[in-house]
Homo-oligomer: A and B are copies of this chain.
Amino acid sequence: MLEKVDLSKEMKKEEAKGKLEKMGVELSHLQRECKAAGIPVMIAFEGIGASGKGVQINKLIQALDPRGFDVYTVNRETEEEKMRPFLWRFWSKTPETGRIAIFDRSWYRRVLGDRFDGLTPKKQIPFAFADIHSFERQLTDDGTVIIKLFLYISKKEQEKRFKRLSENKETAWRVSKEDWNRNKKYGEYLALCDEMLEQTDFEFAPWTIVEATDKEYAAVKIMNVVIRRLKEALVEKKQREAMEERIAKEQAENGKIEEKSQTEEYKIGVLSGVDLSKSLSEKEYKHRLDQLQKKVEILHSELYRQRIPVILAFEGWDAAGKGGAIRRLTSKLDPRGYAVCPTSAANDIERKHHYLWRFWNKMPKAGHIAIFDRTWYGRVMVERIEGFCSTAEWKRAYQEINEMEEHLVNSGAIIVKFWLQIDKDEQERRFRARMEIPEKQWKITDEDWRNRAKWEEYEQAVDEMLVRTSTTYAPWTVVEANSKQYARVKVLETVVEAIEARLKEQK
């Protein structure tokens, strides 16, 4: 893509100044409109070294209201960041609705600078491209505008700029040996850039190549692109809303025909085949529990030594015993190495982000265990059934979730997912028992009874979820939980097996 670019383009200072001033007013206006419309914007600055990313970012932000944007400088991963999947630090920086996040270098480091420097393992390159694709697709599907700018200068121009910086004693420190090395190997680096641009020039998040020899010309081009993309986003947003309204209206008129034929497919589901009569004697339970807890304790320290992150996801009916199972699992563990992450309704800030954002933030670092009491699967259960998200949103969530889990596994994690299954009668017995014990009454709310009334709807949703998201890399385990003892032992056993299997592989 780069060879055809004309790097001699330039613009007179006076002309550029006039244009930039006018466009600045327009951009400032668009920023306010995007804020009002709740559109999040990400602007990634990539390019050749010394192509002037800093200067250009500064020119751009002069026109913006500082209350509405953040600038992130993306350096090499810190020790802390190295212990997480590579997208983790970018997920945590995705902007909330109405805000702009500007990246000086970005997630593309992985396939550019870090790749060039040999920091990205070779076999990770294809994964990195796939992960970047799903990262950008998921965010744009959710309404984020992603603007990607590649600032381009020639080898000669780069050399000239390095020289100029080196000659001035105030700026000499900015040019490192590494920079000179990249100038020497300019052709090699450019080939990586070319491959990257070709592989990631997505329709939903296209690249703009900015001829950056002349700073004025580049500034005007950048401002132009940003303005155009924001305008488009505002129009699209309106169209999308109009369409959603129309669909909602049609559905209201035609009844839920489509909905029914959809669920037909999952009529004879996974859950109906579960044998809930399984149980354990008290003696057997105590014996195995004790054994397994000791085993998990030892494995935990082995995980820590080998720096393997573990993600345990707990889902199940209300009162199915998630809390109890988690407690039996953790009671012997070192609290420095695990965290229980309970999921309740999203708070104000979380609601302004992609629904996966808050889970990304909690993903464990290498060697640690994160135990989620309810999870990202809320999207395809409660949010689906209660209408907290649109049909299109929960339908695409299966793929999004699979992609997230794949990314986590590729970066080294073990994922174990539990569905704790009880029958409706057992749930009622437990609800009533809780209401009779004063210190457990708080556990039962009106909402629990309301959810219970929708048992069949949930059952269908769960069946579909189990089928669509049981992958080779992150399979579901359905736990027969009418007997709490049986369930707790099965959970512990499954965790032990998963960890042992991985440790065997590592050897």
- A residues contacting B by CB (< 8 A) are 25, 28-29, 32, 54, 57-58, 61-62, 65-67, 70-71, 73, 78-80, 102, 104, 170-171, 173-174, 298, 301-302, 305, 323, 326-327, 330-336, 339-342, 344, 347-349, 373, 439, 442
- What would 5 A/B residue contacts be, using CB atoms closer than 8 Å? A57-B335, A58-B330, A58-B331, A79-B79, A170-B298
Known A58-B331, A301-B171, A335-B57; contact A66-B340, beta-carbon cutoff 8 A: yes
Smallest CB–CB gap between A324 and chain B, Å?
A: 11
Closest to A68 in B: B342
Q: How many copies does the complex hold?
A: 2
Known A32-B442, A298-B170, A442-B32; contact A336-B66, beta-carbon cutoff 8 A: no
Known A28-B439, A339-B71, A347-B348; contact A170-B302, beta-carbon cutoff 8 A: yes
Residues of B within 8 A of A70 (CB): 339
How far is B424's CA from A185's CA once the two chains are assembled, in angstroms?
62
The answer on a CB contact under 8 Å between A58 and B373 is no
Smallest CB–CB gap between A409 and chain B, Å?
A: 25
How far is B488's CA from A420's CA once the two chains are assembled, in angstroms?
65
How far is B70's CA from A28's CA once the two chains are assembled, in angstroms?
41
Closest to A61 in B: B335
Residues of B within 8 A of A373 (CB): 66-67
**Do most interface residues of chain A lie in helix, strand or loop, or is the interface mixed?**
helix
Closest to A170 in B: B298
User: Known contacts A79-B79, A104-B336; can you find 5 more A-B pairs with CB under 8 A?
Assistant: A66-B326, A73-B336, A173-B301, A173-B305, A174-B301
The answer on a CB contact under 8 Å between B349 and A347 is yes
Q: Which one of B62, B323, B331, B349 lies within 8 Å of A348 (CB-CB)? A: B349
Q: Which one of B25, B332, B336, B342 lies within 8 Å of A67 (CB-CB)? A: B342
Residues of B within 8 A of A102 (CB): 335
Smallest CB–CB gap between A500 and chain B, Å?
A: 14
Residues of B within 8 A of A298 (CB): 170
How far is B70's CA from A66's CA once the two chains are assembled, in angstroms?
33
The answer on a CB contact under 8 Å between A71 and B301 is no
The answer on a CB contact under 8 Å between B58 and A334 is yes
Smallest CB–CB gap between A50 and chain B, Å?
A: 13
Residues of B within 8 A of A174 (CB): 301
Closest to A81 in B: B80
Shortest Cβ-Cβ A-B pairs, 3 listed: A66-B340, A67-B342, A73-B336
Residues of B within 8 A of A62 (CB): 327, 330-331
Smallest CB–CB gap between A466 and chain B, Å?
A: 25
How far is B324's CA from A62's CA once the two chains are assembled, in angstroms?
10
How far is B274's CA from A369's CA once the two chains are assembled, in angstroms?
61
How far is B64's CA from A342's CA once the two chains are assembled, in angstroms?
12
How far is B99's CA from A344's CA once the two chains are assembled, in angstroms?
15
